[in-house]
Structure 1
Amino acid sequence: MRIGLYATGQAGLEGIVEDIAAAERLGLDSAFLPQLTAWDALTVAALAGPRVPRIGLGTAVVRTYAQHPLALAGQALTAQAATGGRLTLGIGPSHREIVEGGYGLSYDRPARHVREYLQALRPLLRGESTDFRGETLSVSGTVDVPGAEPPPVLVSALGPVLLGIAGELADGTVTVWAGPEVLGEYVVPKITDAAKRAGRPAPRVVASAMLSVTADPDRVRADIRGRFGTAGEFASYRRLLRQQGKAGLEDTVAAGDEDFVAATVARFAAAGVTDLLVSPVGTDEERERTLAFAARLR
C-alpha cells in the first residue's frame, strides 16, 4: 500500500507547497489536494510540480458540477504537463447542499451526471475530438495540450451506483471518512467487481484518513468535531456513518499511540486500499510527528 499526504492547506499557499515538499523529503508516495472553498487544487498542483520533482500529485476531489468537461480537461492536462506526468485527477459530484445551496445548480440525477461526465471527459483527456449529447450535459470540442499524457481519473464514490460507475469508466475511487471495515467489506469488492465486469484493470482505491500520534485522543477528536461536525449532516456522510456504526465524523479519526496508529494503517492495507492519504491532525508537533511516523510505515 502506498502512503501519501492529504494536504489540507491550512497554512496558506506557500505553506501548502512546503507541506508537499516535506512529504517528498519524508519519502511519501503522493500528495493529494482537496477542492474546498479556498485554493484551487489543480492550480496548486501545477505550482508545486516544479518544486517537488518526484512525488505524485493528485486532487481529492474537483467538483464536476462546477466545471464543464472541456474546461476541466484543459486545466487537468495543463497541470499534468506542469507536473511532468505525475497527476492523478480525482473528481466527484460533491453534495446537494453545496451544488444547490452554493452554486445554485440542480443536483438531480447525480449518478447519471457522473456517468455522462466521464463519458465526455475521458476522450477529451486523450486529445480526441468529442461530440457528446447526454441528458445532463453536452460537449463538443477538443483539448490540445502537446506532450501531456491523460492522467488517471478517480471518482469519489461511496454508494453502489457510483462505485459501479467508477469501476466501469474510471481508474478507481477516492474516499473520505471511510474506515478500513467498510472499505474492505463493501467499497473494494463493489468497485473491483464492476471493473472486472467491464474488462478493466483492478482499480485503485485511494482512502484518506485522519491520523494522530497523540497522548490525548479525546482532545484531537473534540477539535475535529468542532471543525467538521456540520459536514456530518450531508446525506452521503450520514449514510456512511450509519454504515460504520459511528455517531460523528470525529469517530473516524485514528488517534492514539504509535502502536494504535500503526495497527490502523495495517487494517487499511488489509482491506485492499492501494493508497492511504494521511491527514495528520492535532497540534503542530503532533501533526509533524504523525506524518513522519506514517512515512516509516511504508
Structure 2
Amino acid sequence: MRIGLWIEEEGRSIDELGAAAKAAEDAGVDRIWFSQRNGWDALTLIAGVAPYTSTIGYAVGVVPVYPRHPLALAAQALSVQALIGNRLTLGVGSSHPHVVEGMLGLSMDRPAAYMREYIEALGPLLAGDATDYAGERLTARGQLSIAGAETPELVLAALGPRMLAIAGELTAGTTTSWAGPEVIEQFIRPTMDRAAAAAGRPRPQVVAGNCVALTDDPDGTRSWIRSRFGAAGDMPAYRAVLDRGGKAGPEETAVLGDEKAVAEELRRFADAGTTEFLFCPVGTEVEQQRTIRFALDYAASS
C-alpha cells in the first residue's frame, strides 16, 4: 500500500507549501494531494509547488467537473503535466448540490450520467487524441497538442455504485472520503473490480483519504473533527457512504490513537484492498505535526 499525504493549502504561501512537499519527498511519500476548495486553484498550485521537488507525484483531489468543460480541463491538466515533468494524477468529481446548484446555479440532474459523458469526452483529450463527442448533455470537438505532456493518470472520486462502476470501467481508480476499511472491502473494491473486469481493464486503484491524528485524546479529537467536518454528514453522497459503514458522522471514520493503533488501522485498510492510504492530518496544531511526522516515518519504513 502506497502512502499519500494531503497538505493543507489554505492560508499558506508557495514557499511554505514547497517546503512541506520537499519534506514529504525526502521521507518517501508516494504522492502529495491538494484539494480544490475556496482558495488556491489546485492544478495551478501543483505547477507552483512542483519545482521545489524532483520525483514525488502530485494529485488533485478533486477538480469539480461542472464548472470546467473537458477541453478546458484537459488543456490545463496537460499544461501542468508538461511543466512538472509528467508527475500529475488528475482527480475529478461531481462536487455537491450546494456547490453546483447553490453557488454556481447549474443543474446537477443525473450526475452519474453526466460524469460518464464527461470522462468519455475527457479521456481522448488527455491522451492527445482528436475527439468528436456529442452526448446527451455534453459536446466536445477538438484536439490538444502540448509538447512534453504525457497522458496523466485519471481517477474519479466515487462513493455510490454508479460512480464506482464508471471509475472502474473508464479510469485508473477512485479516491474516497469517509469510507472505512469495511466499506472498501465489502462495497467499493468489489464494485469497481467487477466494472474493470467487464471492461477488460486492470484492477483499479483505491485511494482511501481519511482523517488521521496521533493523539492521546481520541474523544477530544473526534469532537474537533465533528466541529470542523460534521457538515459533510449532511451531504447526500457522504451521508450514503457513512450510512453504509454504520457511522453517524465523519468523526467516527477517523484513524485516531497512538502509533500502534494507527499502524494497526493502516493494516486493515491494506487488507481491505486499499492501494494508497491518503493521510489527512487533523486535530490541534500539535497533533497535526505529530501525525505528519508519523506519516513521513511510516512512508520511509514501509
Please indicate the TM-score interval, normalised by the length of the shorter structure: over 0.9
Return the letter of the residue paired with 1:218.
Answer: D
2:13 match: 13
Any residues of structure 2 matched to 1:189-208 within 5 Å, and which?
189-208=190-209
Determine the C-alpha separation between the residues in 2 that align with 1:164 and 1:249: 24
- Residues 62, 91 of structure 1: 8 Å contact kept: yes
Q: When the two structures are superposed, what TM-score results if normalisation uses the length of structure 2? A: 0.96
1:141 match: 142
2:70 match: 69
C-alpha distance after superposition, 1:220-241 (max 9, x if no partner): 1111111111121101111111
Return the letter of the residue paired with 1:192.
Answer: D
Structure 2 vs 1, CA of residues 28 and 193 (structure 1 numbering), >3 Å: closer, same or farther?
Answer: same
- Residues 13, 39 of structure 1: 8 Å contact kept: no
C-alpha distance after superposition, 1:234-263 (max 9, x if no partner): 011111111111111111111111111111
Any residues of structure 2 matched to 1:1-298 within 5 Å, and which?
1-14=1-14, 15-297=16-298, 298=302
What displacement does 1:8 show?
2.6
Identity %: 48
Determine the C-alpha separation between the residues in 2 that align with 1:225 and 1:58: 26
Return the letter of the residue paired with 2:201.
Answer: R
Name structure 1 gaps, 5 residues minimum: none
- Residues 81, 87 of structure 2: 8 Å contact kept: yes
Return the letter of the residue paired with 1:104.
Answer: G
Return the letter of the residue paired with 2:124.
Answer: P
Return the letter of the residue paired with 1:4.
Answer: G
Determine the C-alpha separation between the residues in 2 that align with 1:20 and 1:52: 7
Out of 114-123 and 3-12, give the one that drifted further.
3-12
- Between the two proteins, the alignment pairs up a number of residues equal to 298
- Residues 112, 136 of structure 1: 8 Å contact kept: no
Determine the C-alpha separation between the residues in 1 that align with 2:264 and 2:10: 27
C-alpha distance after superposition, 1:138-178 (max 9, x if no partner): 11111111110010100011111111111111111111111
C-alpha distance after superposition, 1:98-149 (max 9, x if no partner): 1100110000010111100111101001111211111121111111111100
- Residues 26, 292 of structure 1: 8 Å contact kept: no
Determine the C-alpha separation between the residues in 1 that align with 2:272 and 2:91: 21
Return the letter of the residue paired with 1:69.
Answer: P
Return the letter of the residue paired with 2:193.
Answer: T
C-alpha distance after superposition, 1:259-281 (max 9, x if no partner): 11111111111111111110111
Determine the C-alpha separation between the residues in 1 that align with 2:220 and 2:11: 21
- Residues 208, 276 of structure 2: 8 Å contact kept: yes
Q: Please, what is the CA RMSD of the aligned residues?
A: 1.2
Name the SS for the 1:291 alignment partner: helix
Name the SS for the 1:147 alignment partner: coil
Determine the C-alpha separation between the residues in 2 that align with 1:148 and 1:105: 32
What displacement does 1:43 show?
0.6
What displacement does 1:11 show?
4.2
Determine the C-alpha separation between the residues in 1 that align with 2:96 and 2:184: 20
- Residues 19, 52 of structure 2: 8 Å contact kept: no
Q: When the two structures are superposed, what TM-score results if normalisation uses the length of structure 1? A: 0.97
Name the SS for the 2:106 alignment partner: coil
- Residues 167, 191 of structure 1: 8 Å contact kept: yes
